[in-house]
Structure 1
């Protein structure tokens, strides 16, 4: 059977890649899955709750915890004959509700330990590329964060997530991984009123420190997901962090 012109263009323009996903059931993670599959890539997702992500062509779902190195190893070999070229992590800490004052449910160092486990398992498997969803305000971007944003984070339980992202930021630099930290401005759900063309606009990148960050900055989950996939597929921002906004 011959290829369609679309298939020929896709196959000739870039190689099809396989990815390990941690956090694929989250609001950004779900968009990462859709973006990868729409580009013809394949993925294996490690999820903590069975049934939380529906398997579909190109996607393998494995139940387990990112806090368990054996579970991550199982995910690496879950798709026969496919070895991930890279990992994309979109994990976040969990609060009892969406309220910024809600009690933290995730254990301390959830993000840091999950990332450390993934880096160790990937390195042992000879896989060195990892792209991690972080947040504006982590690491050296804290100094450029608007003072109202700093006050809000310090006053609410969001500070626990920021602290954990900060630990990831410090520890991933000690690994031998080819890492990228994508520091998202305030994440927002997609606006259904926006025209489809508007949703394809590339995000703005503000460097590692986030020079020029504003209190009003935000980024939609779909924009963040597209950028994460682009960075992972094209090998951008190697061993560096980058702040993004719409």
Structure 2
């Protein structure tokens, strides 16, 4: 299969790229800085922004003789640092507007499948989020990312796309030199995240493997699903 990738230079996005290529798929990645991904004969890199519909259209036709079967979006908001108190750098509605643009352009050309990485706490999963996590999100600048993910949740349901929202609990990034050892099957907690606890986490390699599986196999169409290790 051939995929359009948004957010391919992020930590989870890079894992998605590696997973797709290792399985023999091809991809086109729309990114701002072409130097942030290694070259590969099965990966086409297009410089641009998901906030530009023209850039998205350019990416769809960038690989000669093939158009994407689906899109995988692993975009996230950006802060000055990984500190939860760091200032937000992404513009308001960055995720929501990017998602709306991608879905609009894909719908126009007859591509119906999109898989979006979201976060536990978005949409219907807020009610089941542990109260400590709710307090932490409300107290720190992580709240801005959550607000944007909630907007994505609303935007995508307005479309005719065959969408899936993968709501990941707290992400783990450690031991990235041992990707194959860290990745494992995720535990599915439904759209509401039944059974979530304060200690939950999921490694980005596990999430990326699941995102690729969902996209390739057409799983959880028009559903949101909370995942943890």
Cross-structure match for 1:235: 218
Separation in structure 1 between the aligned mates of residue 227 and residue 97 of structure 2, nearest angstrom? 24
Partner-residue secondary structure (3-state), 1:143 = coil
Tell me whether 1:90 sits opposite 2:92 in the alignment.
Answer: no
1:190 shift after superposition = 3.7
TM-score by length of 2: 0.97
Q: Contact 1:92–1:161 (CA<8 Å) still a contact in 2?
A: yes
Tell me whether 1:149 sits opposite 2:130 in the alignment.
Answer: no
Cross-structure match for 1:211: 194
Q: Contact 2:183–2:203 (CA<8 Å) still a contact in 1?
A: no
1:55 shift after superposition = 2.1
1:186 pairs with 170, 176, 201, which one? 170
Residues 160-199 of structure 1: matches in 2 within 5 Å?
Answer: 160-191=144-175, 196-197=180-181, 199=182
Partner-residue secondary structure (3-state), 1:208 = coil
Q: Contact 1:183–1:241 (CA<8 Å) still a contact in 2?
A: yes
Structure 2 alignment gaps of length 5 or more: none
Q: Contact 1:93–1:110 (CA<8 Å) still a contact in 2?
A: yes
Partner-residue secondary structure (3-state), 1:51 = helix
Cross-structure match for 1:138: 122
Q: Contact 1:190–1:222 (CA<8 Å) still a contact in 2?
A: no
1:51 shift after superposition = 1.4
Separation in structure 1 between the aligned mates of residue 183 and residue 57 of structure 2, nearest angstrom? 35
Cross-structure match for 1:223: 206
Partner-residue secondary structure (3-state), 2:82 = coil
2:100 pairs with 107, 110, 116, which one? 116
Q: Which runs of 4+ in 1 moved over 4 A?
A: 192-197
TM-score by length of 1: 0.91
Q: How big is the alpha-carbon RMSD for the aligned residues of Structure 1 and Structure 2?
A: 1.3
Structure 1 alignment gaps of length 5 or more: 1-16
Q: Contact 2:46–2:59 (CA<8 Å) still a contact in 1?
A: yes
Q: Relative to 1, partners in 2 of residues 1:27 and 1:63: Cα closer, same or farther, differing over 3 Å?
A: same
Cross-structure match for 1:52: 36
Q: Relative to 1, partners in 2 of residues 1:190 and 1:230: Cα closer, same or farther, differing over 3 Å?
A: farther
Which structure has the larger Rg? Answer: 1
Q: Contact 2:171–2:202 (CA<8 Å) still a contact in 1?
A: yes
Partner-residue secondary structure (3-state), 2:227 = strand
1:201 shift after superposition = 2.4
Q: Relative to 1, partners in 2 of residues 1:200 and 1:220: Cα closer, same or farther, differing over 3 Å?
A: closer
